[in-house]
Amino acid sequence: MTSKKEASERKVIDGVVLESGKEDIQPYERSSCKRGEGIARRLEGDRSGKKKGKEEEESVRKKKMKKEREEWEKYVEGKGEEDLKEKNNEEKEIELERWIKYMNWIKVNYPTMDNAESKLNQVLERCCKKYQEKEKYRNNKKYIKIWLEYINTCQDKLEIFNWLRQMKIGERLPLFWRAWATVAEKEMKFTLSEQILREAMKQHFLKQDQDLQDIQKAYQQFCIR
């Protein structure tokens, strides 16, 4: 039989007999569950608030970028306020410089270069096509560099180079021939790459010492590879 002393040392909680002197076992408290639920709701609310805050920041950023892009579009098309200031400086390549500044703005503000958002490829293409009929730009180094950057985003690179050659765009610049030969080599068209460099060395307008040396060096490096 259980003595009165032993009985006094026992406690009954929810039908379970707990003996005094054993491990401290706290009774289940419904209030603690409710407190836990409250904390969970607050944490969820904090996460939801942070997510909403990020979404709002992204929305603000996109609106800002859209507004700035609209200003750049006006600028490159000569419809902005700066156009009046630069109106008489067209011979100083102001038009082309505008596009270059626009492209640099895109690269700074869209560092991941996701074209769906940055639209850099479209801007490059528009700039290339805008001046392709203008004689003064056909062998302008800055303009050809824009073409080369655009070509780098395309699948049909060699076809574009062929077309540029037919249009006499870039043919007076060693960088054009080197880039063309490099693309051919990367596409495993080694014979074509050699032909391009040999053709470049025959061009009378590349007879300047430095220009010819650039092509000859490119050809020597090709032969070593």
Domain extent listing, the chain: 57-157, 172-225
Taking only the tens of pLDDT, the chain with its 225 residues reads 555 555 555 555 445 454 544 455 455 555 556 666 666 666 676 666 666 677 888 888 889 999 999 999 999 988 765 554 554 445 456 889 999 999 999 999 998 878 888 999 999 999 999 999 999 999 999 999 999 999 999 999 999 999 999 999 999 999 999 999 999 999 999 999 999 999 998 877 665 667 777 887 777 777 777
Q: pLDDT at position 84, please?
A: 44
Per-residue buried b or exposed e for 140-170, using 16+ beta carbons within 10 Å of the residue's own CB: beebbbbbbebbeeeeebbebbeebbeeebb
Q: pLDDT at position 171, please?
A: 92
Fold of 57-157: 1.25.40
